[in-house]
Structure 1
């Protein structure tokens, strides 16, 4: 019987994989609503999870510590879900941290008012016809991570937590999914040990929910790999665990925040280069080979770039490079048949929970477009023209992504091929005469924006920018922070390297000379300054000079010397 069951599942998987390749990514998207307006459970888990695409995270809200509004977002209202639904999302993940609302000793009772608030928020989303994923979130690092040293108590508390959640939501519709544990992690363990603890918790979760009866007997259960990591060792471990359960209503989950150096801008990871692209392709290829190609649905419970966007700080990642990341992610996820949940921490990122407006509408439009189609891009979204030099032709490489190039526009005016630009293969060259016209009076900064348009997807904006090599000045300060007077002259900062005379790396990140953007250094464009942070300065060797090289997006570099003497710091231009 078990062998027949797996054969049927495999045949179904092959059929669904074919459907995905043909571009049908949501077989059950038009399912009629059931109780409270929530969508009906589709015929198979694969179809149900496909119907959940795209998904969105109500981040930094019910998971905030200690309370719902502690991390800058207002209390969630149904208007939030109305907005999300209107923008095309079909499901929401509602992260919940239970720790601050639960007794820390047996019987680990969850506060009734908190449980009711969680139910209220879940019901708001269900009433909008959205699928909902409900989880145990920051508890993962607050107390679950201590399992190796406090095994029995942690296991008992985890069981008590899910026993209460399962009972509270027992009769909710099948469009509510439970997720075992967010980003499971365990202190002082090897991967092999961590996998064992993760298996033990997933087993407890599965057993308790299934035994609670009602809708929980067949409810889709989302189960994470260790760290929600997509490394093959973690995928294989979860696959083995799932095979042992012999339960088709299980949904593996992983997260993806990109190739780390690019995601946070460290170690010179300033661009969405071949390494970053390969990292993303490999992530989805492993997930597809292990699960979705066999008819097992996968939920990408979180994706994005770490600390981007962040409207409260200078952007770590150049905008065009971020757009390329989201464009490829949408394509690779669709190709792998994976449902994606955008991580949105709220007010300072994507959806402002107070105004119910997108903080960066153009960025969100690009994300939204990636759900259904590819877009063309280019090697850069900037063309830099040095004010101190004569204007010459500039060439960009088009990334067609399977599309056809239609031409260049400035607003409603189409540029003339042959006169304003030429195209040779993937090489797009803007002529000197066109750039002279676009640069106008050549004031520092963006002089004009043109668009490369393709036969599908979003246009690619190209900003014609006048600059000169930035100018830094000497400065004195302390290890609490040094602000270097800086004339950016139309340019923008990309990264900073820091070394000592003996070749050693200077700064808190000691494995690379290229320090982390916004952590070791931060531009202040409006204030004409460049801040070297306390984190960076206190890490410097006392009495030894460090050579800093600031790299700008135009390609310009500026070398700067910094010396720490006790609590004092001096900066000197080379």
Structure 2
């Protein structure tokens, strides 16, 4: 029989042990979360400032991908070298497949097209750059030959085709190291600019899961490489908010990846406010705190909005070890309406990259090759001349922290 005093001592020791175990578990969890965030921070730091090879491998003609169909010249090693020399460390290569995918059940991608995709990837990869490749135009209803349609009734066929296509793409690149990042899709939604709908969003989540499972199962370096997935239309609110986005599980990744590390990244795009960044009109040509003409500045989408948007992604994903990639951002050229426009385009680019840096996201500028009115281009792809050095300088200063913007702390 144990005395009352003994019972009290035993109870006290039990409570003490329980508290110690609880504290130890909390420390271990905090350590795990810290390690996961560390991995995310490293890949983002390594990616630096990114640039999109837009309007090239996702360009189309008559339902087939066509590299020069939208007015750009054939991509060359010299172009990629020029982009690298400007300071960019990541190149995103949008890719459409469309009619280059054959009939089921094998859905064989044209070997010549897949080889050309690999050749362009190698232009960047062999120069030590990080490279992102995706499936770009296949999900746009407006594109002839599109098929990755989330509100189509043919989901069984779509998912089988999607799985076979990514199996072939992943096998083509299975031996590339972690500098190659595969991206599941681009701006996938039902085409209506309102709240997400069902079952469309559930199908998008299914595509992401098929993508992750398929790539992982091809083995090689695909078993551990970073994979980039997106929510509804790469929209921040509809990805970070409670609108139906589901992170895919990663059950087939290599066992060599520590259990507390992530190898999934989240893609979003940023073109806010649209009347400044994308609307083809000469009305709104200025942005930010330095704007001098209130009639030319949008009533929304300024620095505070930008900060809140990327903070939402930080809270939802980065704090849990999932890196965020702002896979597209930029503002079109309206200098023909306002000679000061390029200054504000540079301010916008600097702010996006600096805010991305603050919240642990990798920024990738959208360049569509157009250097005239309404273009996003930073380089003339024929002459290989830089056309917007001011915007490039702004991007580099923002991503490196060499900016006059006030220092801010995540969560503040």
Same fold (TM over 0.5): yes
Which position in structure 1 is the counterpart of 2:287?
272
| 1:279 CA displacement | 2.3
* Distance in 1 separating the partners of 2:98 and 2:403: 43
Change (3 A) 1:64 1:216: same
> Is the deviation greater in 262-271 or in 340-349?
262-271
* Distance in 2 separating the partners of 1:60 and 1:143: 19
| 1:146 CA displacement | 5.3
Instruction: Count residues with an aligned counterpart.
Output: 347
Residue 157 (structure 1) aligned to one of 156, 161, 167: 161
Change (3 A) 1:316 1:338: farther
Q: Which secondary structure does the structure 2 equivalent of 1:289 belong to? A: helix
* Distance in 1 separating the partners of 2:85 and 2:244: 35
Which position in structure 2 is the counterpart of 1:369?
397
Kindly indicate whether residue 350 of structure 2 is the aligned counterpart of residue 327 of structure 1: yes
Which position in structure 2 is the counterpart of 1:285?
311
Which position in structure 1 is the counterpart of 2:272?
258
Change (3 A) 1:102 1:310: farther
Which position in structure 1 is the counterpart of 2:137?
138
Which position in structure 2 is the counterpart of 1:10?
33
1:458-493: per-residue Cα shift (whole Å, max 9, x none)? xxxxxxxxxxxxxxxxxxxxxxxxxxxxxxxxxxxx
Kindly indicate whether residue 327 of structure 2 is the aligned counterpart of residue 301 of structure 1: yes
* Distance in 2 separating the partners of 1:86 and 1:363: 15
> Is the deviation greater in 259-268 or in 119-128?
259-268
TM-score (norm 2): 0.76
Kindly indicate whether residue 365 of structure 2 is the aligned counterpart of residue 342 of structure 1: yes
Whether the 8 Å CA contact 1:45–1:220 is kept in 2: the answer is no
1:304-344: per-residue Cα shift (whole Å, max 9, x none)? 12xx1378x75798333323222221221111111110111
* Distance in 2 separating the partners of 1:365 and 1:320: 11
| 1:235 CA displacement | 5.1
More strand, by proportion: 1
Q: Which runs of 5+ in 2 are unaligned?
A: 1-24, 141-145, 252-258, 289-298, 372-376, 408-412
Over the aligned positions, Cα root-mean-square deviation in angstroms equals 3.0
> Is the deviation greater in 122-131 or in 342-351?
342-351
| 1:100 CA displacement | 3.3
* Distance in 2 separating the partners of 1:298 and 1:176: 16
| 1:267 CA displacement | 11
* Distance in 2 separating the partners of 1:190 and 1:104: 31
Whether the 8 Å CA contact 2:232–2:239 is kept in 1: the answer is no
* Distance in 2 separating the partners of 1:73 and 1:4: 54
Kindly indicate whether residue 180 of structure 2 is the aligned counterpart of residue 176 of structure 1: yes
* Distance in 2 separating the partners of 1:269 and 1:402: 25
Q: Which secondary structure does the structure 1 equivalent of 2:199 belong to? A: helix
TM-score (norm 1): 0.55
RCO higher in 1 or 2 (8 Å CA, sep ≥ 6)?
2
| 1:6 CA displacement | 6.1
Larger Rg: 1
Which position in structure 1 is the counterpart of 2:223?
217
Q: Which secondary structure does the structure 1 equivalent of 2:268 belong to? A: strand
Kindly indicate whether residue 49 of structure 2 is the aligned counterpart of residue 54 of structure 1: yes
Residue 170 (structure 2) aligned to one of 166, 172, 182: 166
Whether the 8 Å CA contact 2:184–2:229 is kept in 1: the answer is yes
Whether the 8 Å CA contact 1:235–1:287 is kept in 2: the answer is no
Change (3 A) 1:355 1:202: same
* Distance in 1 separating the partners of 2:27 and 2:161: 38
Whether the 8 Å CA contact 2:201–2:245 is kept in 1: the answer is no
Q: Which runs of 5+ in 1 are unaligned?
A: 17-43, 377-400, 404-574
* Distance in 2 separating the partners of 1:5 and 1:81: 44
Which position in structure 1 is the counterpart of 2:5?
none
Which position in structure 2 is the counterpart of 1:408?
none
Whether the 8 Å CA contact 2:349–2:395 is kept in 1: the answer is yes
Change (3 A) 1:5 1:228: farther
Whether the 8 Å CA contact 1:259–1:279 is kept in 2: the answer is no
Change (3 A) 1:9 1:317: farther
* Distance in 1 separating the partners of 2:149 and 2:339: 30
Which position in structure 1 is the counterpart of 2:262?
248
Change (3 A) 1:146 1:237: closer
Change (3 A) 1:88 1:114: same
